[in-house]
Structure 1
Amino acid sequence: MFDGVAKGYDRTNSVMTLGFDRRWREWSRRVLDARAGEKVLDLAAGTAVSTVEYAASGAWCVAADFSIGMLLGGRHRDVPKVAADALRLPFADNAFDAVTVSFGLRNFNDTEAALREMARVVKPGGRLVVCEVSTPTFRPFRFVYMRYLLKILPFIGRFVSSNPEAYQYLAESMRTWPEQRALAEIVAKAGWEDVAWMNLTFGMVALHRATKPAESGEPAEATKPAEAAKPAQTLEGE
């Protein structure tokens, strides 16, 4: 399916999100805070548009995706690219300082298993950043989003996508995806700790971040520190 939407994928994203995809990538980059000398795995990277932005920090970043068509769509972007199954990553244990996935986690067959596999390839103390659709927190907007916006996505896809049928699936996956706290609990259950989230654009999108435990132990309970919510309030007011 994703091979079928690879052509014009970046343009379609910008059209369907009214350009907000650029802001969401910027916030993902800030929260990830990749540093020179670090190794970062950008999973479900698609055409690697986010990977090159992370790599601008001086970190060594690799784009991994199950869809070879998507990776070929980003062939002009000068970052390493690997065809990979998120449930069986072709990397050694503790190979990366951080792992990130943007708008891809909901497409994995087993969310918790994928999060455990991400933890396997990240060093103890390493970071996880997930940018994904979520549940709007402002009730009137949540009603419009669920009742109308998700229904018109397939219609818009007919005009801007190379594979319009795929956007029917995408709309359904967005409608059934866990809300912010539920996803945080899945992340914690998968073995990550210090789990927190930050709402973007009234909660239509949320950033979840977590840390791999420095030592083995019981998964930490998901939390939502006040400082994690504060930047979201600034962004939503823009």
Structure 2
Amino acid sequence: MSRASLDKDPHEVAAMFDGVSAGYDRANSVMTFGFDRRWRTTTSRVLDARRGERVLDLAAGTGVSTAEYARNGAWCLAADFSLGMLRSGKHRRVPMVAADALHLPFADESFDAATITFGIRNFVDTKAALEEIARVVKPGGRLVICEVSTPTFPPIRFLYRRFILWIMTLLGRFASSNPEAYTYLAESMLAWHDQRSLAQIIANAGWTKVEWLNLTFGVVAIHRAQKPTRRPDHHP
């Protein structure tokens, strides 16, 4: 399978990422002109993972984001459903596990925070995944999502939509081990929700205090939310 469809069959998506895993990080840096590093750094600051905390980095790919988020001493786990991506990141000193976002292999309330960096748009059911993530996060825990979004400045939005598919396809052909996969990735970017729509999906999945921060004119946005704390029991 060289390219997944926008129907996002999990097996197709996993196979596609297996196919691009060898040069995935390099291709991302080429296609974003190095901005991917800045976006991860900002996401790390928003996540604010600290020593003693357990953090789930879902759709972590090769673990490049996981290593970034663990720098302050938090225990960060890279989880992804592509074994090829995990294997390509095995040189990084972070724990890794194969996992499906809709059926996470973790106990309830296992993590202090969860994060997804450029991966949520590949989930087959966004709301169901966010509900499953809420299950494994402790009450009061944090959710941080970094994902492509909709540029807020009309001229930038026009250029983005007009040329992103062509640019990604061209650069993917030179920098990736599987150029066809990058056509899917570009199409998935254009079909993805805008900032407010994603915030609404997050809220509908049971998260509270949902807010977002635009990066690079809104080409990328970081969404942050909190799992509700339990209400105290009332006894007669």
What TM-score does the superposition give when structure 2 sets the normalisation length? 0.90
Q: Distance in 2 between matches of 1:167 and 1:149?
A: 11
Instruction: Look up the equivalent residue of 2:162 and give its one-letter code.
Output: R
Q: 1:74 aligns with which of 89, 94, 103?
A: 89
The SS at the match of 1:6 is helix
Deviations 1:55-92 (A, max 9, x none): 11111110000000000000100110000000000000
Aligned-residue Cα RMSD (Å) equals 0.7
Deviations 1:24-58 (A, max 9, x none): 00010000000100000000000001111111111
The SS at the match of 1:5 is helix
Deviation of 1:148 after TM superposition, in Å, equals 1.3
Q: Which residue of 1 aligns with 2:60?
A: 45
The SS at the match of 2:179 is coil
Deviation of 1:149 after TM superposition, in Å, equals 2.2
Relative contact order higher in (CA < 8 Å, ≥ 6 apart):
2
Q: Which residue of 1 aligns with 2:121?
A: 106
Q: Which residue of 2 aligns with 1:27?
A: 42
User: 5+ residue gaps in structure 1?
Assistant: 217-238
Deviation of 1:151 after TM superposition, in Å, equals 2.6
Q: Distance in 2 between matches of 1:5 and 1:117?
A: 27
Deviation of 1:180 after TM superposition, in Å, equals 0.2
User: 5+ residue gaps in structure 2?
Assistant: 1-15, 232-236
Q: Which residue of 1 aligns with 2:6?
A: none
Q: 1:117 aligns with which of 114, 132, 142?
A: 132
Whether 2:75 is the aligned partner of 1:60: answer yes
Give yes or no for contact 2:165–2:183 (8 Å, CA) kept in 1.
no
Q: 1:134 aligns with which of 145, 149, 159?
A: 149
Instruction: Look up the equivalent residue of 1:189 and give its one-letter code.
Output: N
Q: Distance in 2 between matches of 1:142 and 1:150?
A: 13
Corresponding pairs, count = 216
Give yes or no for contact 2:30–2:171 (8 Å, CA) kept in 1.
no
Deviations 1:113-154 (A, max 9, x none): 000010000000000000000000011010000011233211
The SS at the match of 2:162 is helix
Give yes or no for contact 2:102–2:129 (8 Å, CA) kept in 1.
yes
Deviation of 1:173 after TM superposition, in Å, equals 0.5
Give yes or no for contact 2:76–2:95 (8 Å, CA) kept in 1.
yes
Q: Identity of counterpart residues, as a percentage? A: 70
